[in-house]
Amino acid sequence: MLQDQHKKAIQTAYSQFLAGRGLRARYGQKLMVAAIARTLGAIVQDGSGERDSAKCNGEHICVVEAGTGTGKTVAYLLAAIPLAQAQDKKLVISTATVALQEQIIHKDLPEVARHSGLKFDFSLAKGRGRYLCLSKLDQLLSSFSTTGTGISLGLYEDELPQVGEDSVNLYRGMADKLATGNWDGDRDNWPEAIEVEDWSRVTTDHRQCSGRRCPHVSGCSFFRARESLGKTQVIVANHDLLLADLALGGGAILPPPEETIYVLDEAHHLPDKALNHFSHHSRVGASTGWLDQANKNLGQMLGEIGDGGELDRCGEQLPAVLTAAKQGLEQMWPLIEEYCEFEDERGYQQASRSGSSSPGRSARHRFEGGVVPEPIMQLADKLRDDFDELEGLLNKMLQAAQRLLEDPHSPVPAVDLERWYPQLGSWYGRAEANLQLWANYSRADAEGALPQARWVTLVDWGSTRSGAAGATDFEVCSSPILAGKTLEYSLWRRCFGAVLTSATLTALGKFDRLKMRAGTPDNASYQVVPSPFDFSRATLQVPAGAVDAGNADEHTKAVIDALPELLREAGGSLVLFSSRRQMETVYEALPGTWRNRILMQGQKSRQQLLEIHRETVDGGGSSVLFGLASFAEGLDLPGSYCRHVVIAKLPFSVPDDPIEAALAEWIEAKGGNPFMQITVPDAALKLVQACGRLLRTEDDIGTITLLDRRIVTRRYGRAILDSLPPFVRRID
Phi-psi domain of 58 (left: phi exceeds 0; alpha: psi -120 through 50; beta: other) = left
Specify whether the CB–CB gap between 80 and 263 falls below 8 A. Answer: yes
The count of other CB atoms within 10 Å of the CB of residue 316 is: 13
pTM for the whole structure: 0.88
DSSP 8-state class, residue 625 = E
| pLDDT (average), residues 102-110 | 94
| pLDDT (average), residues 628-635 | 91
pLDDT at 466 over 70: no
| pLDDT for 152 | 41
State phi, psi for 309 to the nearest 5 degrees: -135, -130
Q: Out of 210-219, 267-276, 587-596, pick the least confident.
A: 210-219
3-class SS of residue 620: coil
Q: What is the DSSP pairing of strand 452-460 with strand 472-480?
A: antiparallel
| pLDDT for 20 | 95
| pLDDT for 344 | 56
The CB-side HSE value for 609 (13 A sphere, CA atoms) comes to 21
pLDDT in tens, 633-645: 989 999 999 999 9
What type of residue sits at position 227?
A: E
Q: Out of 211-225, 299-313, 599-613, 646-660, pick the least confident.
A: 211-225
| pLDDT for 366 | 95
Q: What is the DSSP pairing of strand 622-627 with strand 497-502?
A: unpaired
Selected residue with higher pLDDT from 227 and 502: 502
Specify whether the CB–CB gap between 51 and 497 falls below 8 A. Answer: yes
Specify whether the CB–CB gap between 519 and 278 falls below 8 A. Answer: no
| pLDDT for 691 | 96
pLDDT in tens, 347-396: 434 443 333 333 334 589 999 999 999 999 999 999 999 999 999 999 99
pLDDT in tens, 260-271: 999 999 999 999
User: Rounded to whole angstroms, what are the CA distances from 401 to 125, 210, 277, 421?
Assistant: 29, 9, 28, 7
DSSP 8-state class, residue 279 = -
Specify whether the CB–CB gap between 234 and 91 falls below 8 A. Answer: yes
Instruction: Say which residues have a Cβ less than 8 Å from residue 418's Cβ, sequence separation at least 6.
Output: 135, 139, 210, 214, 215, 405
| Neighbour-count burial of 218, counting CB atoms closer than 10 A to its CB (0-12 exposed, 13-18 middle, 19+ buried) | exposed
Between CA 523 and CA 525, with CA 524 as vertex, the angle to 5 degrees is 115
| pLDDT (average), residues 521-550 | 95
pLDDT at 167 over 60: yes
- Counting other chains too, the contacts that 348-352 makes at CB distance below 8 Å and 24 or more residues apart are 350/458, 352/458, 352/472, 352/474
Q: Which residues pair with 476 in a beta bridge?
A: 282, 456
pLDDT at 162 over 70: no
| pLDDT for 166 | 84
Please give the biggest Cα pair distance in the chain.
85
Distance CA 490, CA 485 (A): 8
Band of the pLDDT at 704, cuts 50, 70, 90?
Answer: very high
Selected residue with higher pLDDT from 240 and 216: 240
Specify whether the CB–CB gap between 218 and 134 falls below 8 A. Answer: no
pLDDT in tens, 13-43: 999 999 999 999 999 999 999 999 999 999 9
| pLDDT for 156 | 40
pLDDT in tens, 281-310: 999 999 999 999 999 999 999 999 988 888
| pLDDT for 470 | 56
| pLDDT for 379 | 98
State phi, psi for 461 to the nearest 5 degrees: -115, 10
Band of the pLDDT at 214, cuts 50, 70, 90?
Answer: confident
| pLDDT (average), residues 94-115 | 92
Distance CA 683, CA 513 (A): 12
Task: Write down the mean pLDDT value for the chain.
Answer: 90
DSSP 8-state class, residue 51 = B
Specify whether the CB–CB gap between 225 and 254 falls below 8 A. Answer: no
Q: What is the 3-state secondary structure (H, E, C) of 154-165?
A: CCCCCCCCCCCH
Specify whether the CB–CB gap between 97 and 260 falls below 8 A. Answer: no
| pLDDT for 343 | 67
User: Rounded to whole angstroms, what are the CA distances from 359 to 105, 209, 295, 458?
Assistant: 40, 36, 32, 11
DSSP 8-state class, residue 488 = I
pLDDT at 172 over 80: yes
pLDDT in tens, 600-617: 999 999 989 999 999 999
Distance CA 5, CA 400 (A): 55
Specify whether the CB–CB gap between 234 and 93 falls below 8 A. Answer: yes
Buried b (16+ CB within 10 A) or exposed e, 600-621: bbeeeeeeebbeebeebbeeee
